[in-house]
Amino acid sequence: MDLNNIEDIARYIVKAGKGILAADESNPTCGKRFDSIGVESTEQNRRDYREMLFRSQGMRGNIGGVILFDETIRQEAEDGTSLVKIISDQGALPGIKVDQGLKPIGDSEESITQGLDGLDARLKEYYSLGAKFTKWRAVIKIGNSMPSDDAIQSNMVALADYAKVVQENHMVPMVEPEVLMDGTHSIQECFDATSRCLNTLFAALDERRVNIKGTILKPNMVTSGSEVAHKADKNEVAKQTIKCLKENVPSDLPGITFLSGGQSDLDSTAHLDAMNKIGGFSWKLSFSYGRALQQPALKAWMGKKENASLAQEALSHRALMNKLAAEGSWSSSLEN
Ligand code: 13P
């Protein structure tokens, strides 16, 4: 695939219902996922697991991009093929997480994402390793007077500064302002916090003349807090999320690919499908799921080579279900 223009790259990733497999867990996060199945998080185990995912049949036609972690973009498969080539051979574009995690803002509970220092040099190397797009995640919390204006402003400005440097390096920036689900907040509070973030983010991108047609947004859906007993239902989540996006996101953005953020795999698919069934927006609404795509595959794998094909079937199934949801043609009966 010889895609060099950032607008073509962004459109390619979300074409025809395709979405993104987020496989960019840092080593500590990957360690937590592996702990849940009793597998040691060694470099080789992480390689074997990801190689298995990337070779799944259901990558083809359903996955347009894969987000990698620094270790993975440099790794080779057991037979010596680079993991980047395996991804490309499946028709997906390799992407890379380029932020360097979170730092607390003063002694508050809020954080600012790190990674602008030395970013240009890191991007040049990732480009030479085959990356076509990049990701930067900002984290925003709800509760105890949060989010503060300061946390929103500083994080959205950092996202816009990052996006500018990425485009100067000929890659597509994926901008991820994640409003966390954690807490007892209402769907309205999530709507308000998400709205403030998106509004500030697109003003900052505009100020820096970031090319919106060569950018992908990775937002949270607008949902009730994860600790709320009676949560807003699927149709309410779909309606509020579309309303929030329509009020804040320019219509020439090619793709919006949601994070799953702790939603179950089925909820993530059902919510995406409900939005696409409502329709009436110009962007492609698709997925960039980590846990919601990988969880069933991880459980099927359990670190054992002999489980590889079951695990690959599990990933392939979720990839297909989410592609159908991105086209608004999923139904729960297809899950059996
Ligand atoms: P989840 O879908 O598991 O939230 O992961 C997506 C991601 O890349 C978070 O940055």
- The answer to whether residue 335 sits within a structural domain is no
Active site residues: 176, 218
Tens-place pLDDT, residues 92-112: 999 999 999 999 999 999 999
Residue 204 near residue 212, CB atoms below 8 Å: no
Task: Count CB-CB contacts under 10 A for residue 3.
Answer: 15
Residue 125 corresponds to which amino acid?
E
Q: How far is the CA of 69 from the centre of ligand 1 (A)?
A: 13
- The answer to whether residue 334 sits within a structural domain is no
pLDDT (mean) for 114-132 = 98
Tens-place pLDDT, residues 289-333: 999 999 999 999 999 999 999 999 999 999 999 999 999 999 999
Query: What is the rounded average pLDDT for all residues in the chain?
Result: 98
pLDDT (mean) for 227-255 = 98
Q: Is 290 in the pocket of ligand 1 (CB under 6 A)?
A: yes
Q: What is the pLDDT of residue 1?
A: 60
What angle separates helix 308-326 from helix 291-301, to the nearest 10 degrees?
160
Please choose, from the candidates 244, 94, 232, 99, the residue with its C-alpha nearest in 3D space to the C-alpha of residue 165: 99
By percentage, how much of the chain surpasses pLDDT 90? Answer: 99
CATH number, domain with residue 119 = 3.20.20.70
At 200, give phi and psi (nearest 5°).
-65, -40
CA distances from 233 to 73, 92, 105, 239, 267 (A): 39, 33, 34, 10, 10
Q: Is 137 in the pocket of ligand 1 (CB under 6 A)?
A: yes
Name the pLDDT band for 336 (thresholds 50, 70, 90).
Answer: confident
- The answer to whether residue 1 sits within a structural domain is no
Residue 323 corresponds to which amino acid?
K
Which residue among 269, 291, 294 has the greatest number of ligand 1 atoms within 8 angstroms of its CB, and so is best to mutate? 291
Q: Does residue 2 carry a pLDDT above 90? A: no
Tell me if the bond preceding 147 is cis, omega within 30° of 0. Answer: yes
Q: Is 19 in the pocket of ligand 1 (CB under 6 A)?
A: no
- The answer to whether residue 220 sits within a structural domain is yes
Q: How far is the CA of 289 from the centre of ligand 1 (A)?
A: 5
Quickly list H helices, the chain: 6-13, 27-35, 43-54, 70-73, 83-89, 119-128, 149-168, 187-207, 234-248, 265-278, 291-301, 308-326
Residue 222 near residue 187, CB atoms below 8 Å: yes
Task: Count CB-CB contacts under 10 A for residue 229.
Answer: 6
Residue 285 near residue 28, CB atoms below 8 Å: no
Residue 247: which domain range?
A: 6-329
* 247 Cβ contact partners less than 8 Å away, ≥ 6 residues apart: 195
Q: Does residue 173 carry a pLDDT above 90? A: yes
At 251, give phi and psi (nearest 5°).
-75, -15
- The answer to whether residue 281 sits within a structural domain is yes
Name the pLDDT band for 80 (thresholds 50, 70, 90).
Answer: very high
Atom of ligand 1 nearest to the CA of 291: 3
Q: What is the pLDDT of residue 93?
A: 98
Tens-place pLDDT, residues 180-194: 999 999 999 999 999
Question: 102-104 and 111-113: which strand pairing?
Answer: antiparallel
Give the span between the Cα atoms of 50 and 75, in whole angstroms.
Answer: 10
Q: What is the pLDDT of residue 27?
A: 97
Tens-place pLDDT, residues 251-283: 999 999 999 999 999 999 999 999 999 999 999
CA distances from 6 to 18, 40, 172, 215 (A): 17, 38, 6, 8
Q: Is 261 in the pocket of ligand 1 (CB under 6 A)?
A: yes
Q: How far is the CA of 169 from the centre of ligand 1 (A)?
A: 24
Q: How far is the CA of 25 from the centre of ligand 1 (A)?
A: 8
Q: Is 292 in the pocket of ligand 1 (CB under 6 A)?
A: yes
In terms of phi and psi (left: phi > 0; alpha: psi -120 to 50; beta: otherwise), the region of 226 is alpha
Q: How far is the CA of 290 from the centre of ligand 1 (A)?
A: 4
Identify the three-state secondary structure at position 115.
coil
Residue 335 near residue 70, CB atoms below 8 Å: no
Q: Does residue 245 carry a pLDDT above 90? A: yes
Residue 201 near residue 156, CB atoms below 8 Å: yes
- The answer to whether residue 62 sits within a structural domain is yes
The total domain count for the chain is 1
Atom of ligand 1 nearest to the CA of 259: 2
